[in-house]
Structure 1
Amino acid sequence: MPVAALLGDIRHRLQTSGIDTSEHDARLLVADSLAVEGSDLRMAEILDLTVAQMLERAQTGSPRTVGDVRNDLTVLAARVSRRIRREPLQYIVGHTCFRYIDVQVGDGVFIPRPETETVVQAGIDMLQDAGVTAPRIVDLCAGSGIIGLSLGKEIPGSRIWAVEMSREASVWTLKNRDALVASGDISPERYRFTLADATDADTLAELNGTIDLVISNPPYIPESEVPQQPEVADWDPDVALYGGSRDGLRIPTEIIRRAFSFLHPGGALVMEHDISQAEALCASALETGFTHARTGADLTGRPRFLVARL
């Protein structure tokens, strides 16, 4: 089958199932399943190559047999069927990108979003502004671990304590930690993980008053606002989505209080939130005892995270 025809068929099937990103998803599914690059797909379309011809041109390791190619196409067909059922693309291929890390994700863990990359950058900026080169950081509601792991990779002198209460999510936290340890980007001494409730006053209480930065992407969606996307509503774990109250503020407010205990004078909190919660969470931070609180915007200009300093 010509590569262009294969892509066109998958794209049409995804479009018919209501997927807006059918072009992107079709290309990623084909490239990942056949172990080729996106550039290989584009060249195959230009040259009107068949799948076999493309694989021959793209071959970099041991030659694949006809049986290997058939197995790859069987895997591709199964993955397309899963995507048509609106399973998230990231779960299907088993990974996604976040800043400078390839993140492993799957059933039971929240999929990192691009807006959270902005939260990580805000944390880095706060530390740089304070002149802290070897920061002590607590990542609350760690999920896949990607916030704390990104900070560990990008700030070589940092020490990170990550907290997550979901056993299902913690499987992915540890997988991602182990991958970065294996690559040499972090060490087990610099990244410590605790399976616990991030809002519990006893969790990592020995760190109270010693932390430079608390950073968090807690559950914050108002319980009155169930997401419309099937990929979110049906697949992202509820424990990672909903903020524990009709307005979604209960858990974020508890994170503010816990962060206040962790931080030393001059320390900072950076926390992602819903676009409807900026005013309430700034007020909550000031009422808790933070001396400064402001709202940060995501790349689309929406109010998406709290920045508070003692």
Structure 2
Amino acid sequence: MAELVDRGHHLLAQAGLPTPLNDARLLLADALGCDLHQLDQALLLDRTAEELLTNGVGRRQADDSQSAALDRYQSYLQRRVGREPLQYILGHACFRYLDLRLGPGVFIPRPETETVVQAGIDALTGVDHPLAVDLCSGSGAIGLSLATEVPGARVRAVEVDKEAYRWGALNAAAQEAAIREAGSDYQLLLADATDSAALSDLDAHVDLVISNPPYVPMDAIPSQPEVRDWDPDLALYGGSPDGCLVPCRILDRAMVLLAPGGLLVMEHDASQGAAMVAAAQERGYLDAHTHRDLAGRDRYLTARRPG
């Protein structure tokens, strides 16, 4: 087993991957149908892949074998050498308490967005049956976190891209039990988040509008291939040289959706903190501030509709 990890580690390191050992271990575990703890235990006991499968630790398919599992592993490694995101190859990723299904066509949620979600959760603490709207919902990471972590929350999510909407719907279905357990309600709408017709029945009634809109400046093409070549452009670029066009449209829509005193929480680029605060103030928001992520970079705006 150790030689399989070493082989993958070496191949991915040669390809210039930033975390080759971690990627090789995750890919091998998935190919064998086990988790990392089970893989590490097998490595310590010097078990073979066949032993792992035969002993029922790996999720053996009807005709699965060591050969089939190793073929999967090799295929995974080649895809990763081609800089396909690890999350797409594995088909899922963890975000806060969620295990989200992911694949080509949907934006991969980042750890820094977890701080954005926490700001939204904090804002809803103590609110009875709060109403929240997730604009540009993508995989559903933000809205589904609210629906499963805030008891009694009513969450409405909006996504314009059909492929991203499909992934969001899959994740919503997978979280149905957790949403019911929280006493919450979650609904996903295929629509343009900046369109005044989307959720117009909620205008002036929403406690929280939360969003991770596309905000990358048009001329700031990401250097990382996993982002540049795989994340959907529609989810990345903010529609203007400074990347602020779409976020400003979210500011406009949120001002209408929010009830008096309601809060907007919106992620933005590290370079856009001052611009977003100024844009919010120009539109009449109160208490507009940018906040930093765990890496110390400006990451999200909070602003309140006047009461």
Say if 1:152 and 1:186, in contact at 8 Å, map to a contact too: no
More divergent stretch after superposition (183-192 vs 245-254): 183-192
Unmatched runs of 5 consecutive residues or more in structure 2: none
TM score, norm. by length of structure 2: 0.94
Counterpart of 1:15?
A: 13
Describe the shift of the 1:200–1:4 C-alpha distance in structure 2 as closer, same or farther (beyond 3 A): same
What secondary structure does 1:114 align onto? Answer: coil
Counterpart of 1:112?
A: 109
User: Structure 1, residues 123-149: CA drift from partner, whole Å, max 9, x if none?
Assistant: 011222xx3131100100000111001
Describe the shift of the 1:300–1:184 C-alpha distance in structure 2 as closer, same or farther (beyond 3 A): closer
What secondary structure does 2:171 align onto? Answer: helix
Counterpart of 1:26?
A: 24
Q: Distance in 2 between matches of 1:31 and 1:292?
A: 48
Query: Is 1:263–2:261 an aligned residue pair?
Result: no
TM score, norm. by length of structure 1: 0.93
User: Structure 1, residues 153-194: CA drift from partner, whole Å, max 9, x if none?
Assistant: 00120001110100010110100001111x343499811111
Counterpart of 2:67?
A: 70
Q: Distance in 1 between matches of 2:77 and 2:58?
A: 26
Query: Is 1:100–2:132 an aligned residue pair?
Result: no
What secondary structure does 2:47 align onto? Answer: coil
Q: Distance in 2 between matches of 1:65 and 1:256?
A: 53
Q: Distance in 1 between matches of 2:210 and 2:61?
A: 46
Counterpart of 1:160?
A: 155
Trace 1:34-45 onto structure 2 (pairs within 5 A). 34-45=32-43
Say if 2:34 and 2:59, in contact at 8 Å, map to a contact too: no
Aligned length, in residue pairs: 304
Q: Distance in 2 between matches of 1:53 and 1:60?
A: 9
Q: Distance in 2 between matches of 1:304 and 1:28?
A: 29
What secondary structure does 1:268 align onto? Answer: strand
Identity %: 50
Counterpart of 2:132?
A: 137
Describe the shift of the 1:275–1:184 C-alpha distance in structure 2 as closer, same or farther (beyond 3 A): closer
Trace 1:226-305 onto structure 2 (pairs within 5 A). 226-305=221-300
- 1:37 deviates by 2.2
- 1:33 deviates by 1.2
Q: Distance in 1 between matches of 2:59 and 2:289?
A: 55
Say if 1:104 and 1:172, in contact at 8 Å, map to a contact too: yes
Query: Is 1:202–2:197 an aligned residue pair?
Result: yes
- 1:55 deviates by 3.5
Say if 1:223 and 1:245, in contact at 8 Å, map to a contact too: yes
Describe the shift of the 1:309–1:74 C-alpha distance in structure 2 as closer, same or farther (beyond 3 A): same
- 1:65 deviates by 7.9
Query: Is 1:121–2:83 an aligned residue pair?
Result: no
Counterpart residue identity of residue 133, structure 1: D
Say if 2:130 and 2:154, in contact at 8 Å, map to a contact too: yes
Say if 1:4 and 1:44, in contact at 8 Å, map to a contact too: no
Q: Quick one: which of 33, 46, 50 aligns to 1:48?
A: 46
Counterpart residue identity of residue 245, structure 2: R
Query: Is 1:89–2:86 an aligned residue pair?
Result: yes
RMSD: 1.9
Unmatched runs of 5 consecutive residues or more in structure 1: none
Counterpart residue identity of residue 98, structure 1: F
Counterpart of 1:309?
A: 304
What secondary structure does 1:225 align onto? Answer: coil
